[in-house]
Amino acid sequence: MELFLYTALFSPLVGSMFAAIFAASPKTKLAGIIPSLLLGVSLLSSMILLQHVLTADTPVHVELMTWMATGDLYIPFGFVVDQVSVTMMMVVTLVSTVVHVYAIGYMDHDKSFNRFFAWLSAFVFSMLILVMSDNFAGLFIGWEGVGLCSWGLIGFWYHKESATWAANEAFIMNRIADLGMLIGIFLVYWNTGTLQYDEAFAAMPGLDHETLTWMGIFLFIGAMGKSAQFPLHTWLADAMEGPTPVSALIHAATMVTAGVYLVVRSNELYALIPNVGLFIASLGAFVAIFAATMALVNRDIKRVIAYSTLSQLGYMFAAAGLGAYWVALFHLMAHAFFKALLFLGGGNVMHAMHDELDPFKMGALGKTMKGTMIMMTLASVALAGIFPLAGFFSKDLILEVAFVDHHFIIYSVLLLTAGLTAFYSFRIIALIFHGEDRHTALGHHPHEAYKFMLWAMAPLLVLAAIAGFTFKEPFFEMVTHLLPNTEYHIHSHLTYWIMTIGTQAFVIISIIYAYKKYMSSDIKIPDGTSNMENSFKYKLLINQYYIPHFYEEYLVKPYRELSAVFWTKIDEKIVDATVDGIANIFYSTGEKTRDMQSGNLSTMLKWMVAGTVALLSLAVVFGLAARHSDSIIAILSGLGV
Partner 1 sequence: MMEIGLNHYLVLTTILFAIGLVGVMRRKNLLMLFFATEILLNSVNISFAAISHFYGDLTGQMFAFFVIAIAASEVAVGLGLLIVWHKKHNNIDLDTMTSMRG
Partner 2 sequence: MFEAVAFYLFAFLTISMFWITVTTSQALYALTALAAGMIFISAFFFILGADFLGAIQIVVYSGAVMALYSFGMMFFDTTRDVKEKQGNKAIILGLSTLAAILIVAIFAGPIVSDNIHALYPVIEGAGNTQQVGLVLFTKYLVPFEVAAVMLLVAMIAGIVLAGKKMDLSLTLMDEEEIHLMNEEKNKKVLS
Binding site for partner 1 (CB under 8 A): 594, 596-602, 605-606, 609
Q: In a 10 Å sphere around its CB, with 0-12 CB exposed, 13-18 middle and 19+ buried, how is residue 164 labelled?
A: middle
In the bound state with partner 2, the residue whose beta carbon lies nearer, of 589 and 603, is 603
Residue 61: phi and psi, rounded to 5, are -130, 120
Residue 619 binding partner per list partner 1, partner 2, none, with a CB distance cut-off of 5 to 8 Å that depends on partner kind: partner 2
Residue 30 binding partner per list partner 2, partner 1, none, with a CB distance cut-off of 5 to 8 Å that depends on partner kind: none
Give CA–CA dist 608/369, Å, rounded: 100
Give CA–CA dist 328/334, Å, rounded: 10
Only segment of 224-232, 246-254, 331-339, 623-631 that touches partner 2 (CB under 8 A): 623-631
Task: Please report how close the Cβ of residue 603 comes to partner 2 at its closest, in angstroms.
Answer: 8
Only segment of 359-367, 408-416, 569-577, 613-621 that touches partner 2 (CB under 8 A): 613-621
Task: Please report how close the Cβ of residue 630 comes to partner 2 at its closest, in angstroms.
Answer: 16
What is the C-alpha radius of gyration for the chain, rounded to an integer number of angstroms?
32
Nearest to 31 by CA among 123, 121, 145: 121
The site map against partner 2 for 565-604 (x = CB under 8 A) is -------------------------------------xx-
CB atoms within 10 A of CB 115: 22
- The verdict on 613 binding partner 2 (CB under 8 A) reads yes
Task: Please report how close the Cβ of residue 609 comes to partner 1 at its closest, in angstroms.
Answer: 5
Task: Please report how close the Cβ of residue 616 comes to partner 1 at its closest, in angstroms.
Answer: 11
C-alpha dihedral (580, 584, 585, 589), degrees to nearest 10: 170
Task: Please report how close the Cβ of residue 629 comes to partner 2 at its closest, in angstroms.
Answer: 13
Beta bridge partners of 76: 66
In the bound state with partner 2, the residue whose beta carbon lies nearer, of 68 and 619, is 619
Residue 640 binding partner per list partner 1, partner 2, none, with a CB distance cut-off of 5 to 8 Å that depends on partner kind: none
The 8-class DSSP code of residue 366 comes to G
H or E element that contains 63: strand 60-70
Residue 21 binding partner per list partner 1, partner 2, none, with a CB distance cut-off of 5 to 8 Å that depends on partner kind: none
In the bound state with partner 1, the residue whose beta carbon lies nearer, of 543 and 603, is 603
CB atoms within 10 A of CB 67: 15
Give CA–CA dist 550/328, Å, rounded: 32
Task: Please report how close the Cβ of residue 73 comes to partner 2 at its closest, in angstroms.
Answer: 59
In the bound state with partner 2, the residue whose beta carbon lies nearer, of 535 and 617, is 617
- The verdict on 179 binding partner 2 (CB under 8 A) reads no
Only segment of 68-76, 524-532, 544-552, 617-625 that touches partner 2 (CB under 8 A): 617-625
Q: Which amino acid is at 79?
A: F
Residue 417: phi and psi, rounded to 5, are -60, -35
Task: Please report how close the Cβ of residue 636 comes to partner 2 at its closest, in angstroms.
Answer: 21
Residue 601 binding partner per list partner 1, partner 2, none, with a CB distance cut-off of 5 to 8 Å that depends on partner kind: partner 1
Inter-residue contact 63 to 96 (CB < 8 Å)? no
In the bound state with partner 2, the residue whose beta carbon lies nearer, of 568 and 603, is 603
Task: Please report how close the Cβ of residue 609 comes to partner 2 at its closest, in angstroms.
Answer: 5
DSSP string, 127-169: HHHHHHBSBHHHHHHHHHHHHHHHHHHHTSSTTSHHHHHHHHH
Task: Please report how close the Cβ of residue 589 comes to partner 2 at its closest, in angstroms.
Answer: 22
Give CA–CA dist 542/413, Å, rounded: 21
Q: Which amino acid is at 535?
A: S
- The verdict on 606 binding partner 2 (CB under 8 A) reads yes
Give CA–CA dist 297/537, Å, rounded: 10
CA distances from 389 to 370, 428, 465, 516 (A): 20, 20, 5, 23
- The verdict on 24 binding partner 2 (CB under 8 A) reads no
H or E element that contains 62: strand 60-70
Nearest to 91 by CA among 321, 225, 249: 249
Task: Please report how close the Cβ of residue 627 comes to partner 2 at its closest, in angstroms.
Answer: 6
Non-local (6+) Cβ contacts of 190 within 8 A are none
Task: Please report how close the Cβ of residue 583 comes to partner 1 at its closest, in angstroms.
Answer: 21
Task: Please report how close the Cβ of residue 591 comes to partner 1 at its closest, in angstroms.
Answer: 11
Residue 623 binding partner per list partner 1, partner 2, none, with a CB distance cut-off of 5 to 8 Å that depends on partner kind: partner 2
- The verdict on 635 binding partner 2 (CB under 8 A) reads no
Residue 617 binding partner per list partner 1, partner 2, none, with a CB distance cut-off of 5 to 8 Å that depends on partner kind: partner 2
Residue 599 binding partner per list partner 1, partner 2, none, with a CB distance cut-off of 5 to 8 Å that depends on partner kind: partner 1
In the bound state with partner 1, the residue whose beta carbon lies nearer, of 581 and 599, is 599
Inter-residue contact 149 to 126 (CB < 8 Å)? yes
Residue 620 binding partner per list partner 2, partner 1, none, with a CB distance cut-off of 5 to 8 Å that depends on partner kind: partner 2
Give CA–CA dist 435/515, Å, rounded: 9
Residue 407: phi and psi, rounded to 5, are -95, 80
Residue 616 binding partner per list partner 2, partner 1, none, with a CB distance cut-off of 5 to 8 Å that depends on partner kind: partner 2
- The verdict on 609 binding partner 2 (CB under 8 A) reads yes
Beta bridge partners of 79: 62, 133
- The verdict on 612 binding partner 2 (CB under 8 A) reads yes
Q: Which amino acid is at 206?
A: G
Give CA–CA dist 514/519, Å, rounded: 8
Q: Give me the residues that bind partner 2 (CB under 8 A), please.
A: 602-603, 606, 609-610, 612-613, 616-617, 619-620, 623-624, 627
